[in-house]
Amino acid sequence: MNFFQLPNQAKKDKSIPKNAFYEYATSKQKQLFVDVVDKIRWQYKLASDTINLEGDEVQEIQIFEISLKQRKNIETVLPIIEKAIPYHIIFIISFNDEVMLYTSQKHAHPVNENNAVVDWVFKTDWFNSTSSKYNIVLKESLDKVFSDFCFQISNNSEANSKRDLKELIEKEQKTQDLTNQINRLEAQIKRTKQFNKKQPLNSQLNNLKIELDKIK
């Protein structure tokens, strides 16, 4: 699948065997590779020697396509690949005509520089591959290329924001934390039968929703 229109000099188009990542996986995760993942293909390498852009925190961006045998959640598998490869990766996950995009901000492992630690994940919902609104814009630096892409696929509507990636991650983390608190509180309210005990919980819930609206 030629999902992104990128320069030919950045193209790799190489198959990667699934068992290349087995040493990083549990038995359950290995089975998920076998049952769900059909093929892993290294599509592009975005780096100074392929697109003539340098980066500070982002040295390279690899683009992998993972085609699935069945449309199933493989988010427990992707961090294994992320940890095994120290560079930033953009995943194109495909099943028939549907696609999901996934990437993460990460940093080198403090002890093993060949491994990586994932800080935060950005992903889209599944969508039809013919109606994509996402693209990779090759401009300024590799840091800018990656940051711009993360803004595009994040829950943040400011895709062209001038803010940095660290601010976006902090906002996403805060959004997720508030959403989790709201979900827990709503469940607690449903379980609470006494009206006088529900009132303070509803008040707390409204405050959390107001706070969430402010940061969206």
**Rounded (5°) CA angle 116-101-38:** 85
User: Residue 109: its pLDDT value, please?
Assistant: 64
Per DSSP bridges, beta strands 98-108 and 88-95 are antiparallel
pLDDT at residue 114, as a whole number: 58
Q: What is the pLDDT of residue 159?
A: 47
CA dist list (Å): 57 to 13, 102, 198: 25, 19, 48
Q: What is the pLDDT of residue 48?
A: 94
Q: Distance (Å, rounded) from C-alpha 63 to C-alpha 66?
A: 10
Q: What is the pLDDT of residue 115?
A: 64
Rounded Cα–Cα distance for residues 75 and 19 (Å)? 17
Task: Look at residue 161 in the predicted model and tell me its pLDDT.
Answer: 52
- Comparing CA positions, the residue from 125, 71, 64 lying closest to residue 95 is 71
| Per-residue pLDDT at 171 | 82
Residue 159 is classified by DSSP as T
- The pLDDT, as a whole number, for residue 195 is 81
What pLDDT, in 10s, does the model give residues 50-91?
999 999 889 999 999 999 998 877 777 888 888 788 889 999
Q: Is residue 153 within 8 Å of residue 134, measured between CB atoms?
A: yes
Query: In the predicted model, what is the mean pLDDT of the chain?
Result: 85
Query: Parallel, antiparallel, or unpaired: how do β-strands 37-46 and 127-128 relate?
Result: unpaired
Q: Is the pLDDT of residue 1 over 80?
A: no
Which pLDDT score, from 0 to 100, does residue 156 have?
Answer: 61
Specify the higher pLDDT residue, 72 or 45.
45
pLDDT digits (tens, 9 = 90+) for 180-211: 889 998 998 888 888 888 888 888 888 888 88
The C-alpha angle 209, 210, 212, rounded to 5 degrees, equals 65
User: Are the beta carbons of 65 and 11 closer than 8 angstroms?
Assistant: no
At 152, is the secondary structure helix, strand, or coil?
helix
pLDDT of residue 162: 57
- For 93-125, write each residue's pLDDT tens digit: 999 889 999 998 876 666 666 566 777 889 998
State mean pLDDT over 141-167. Answer: 77
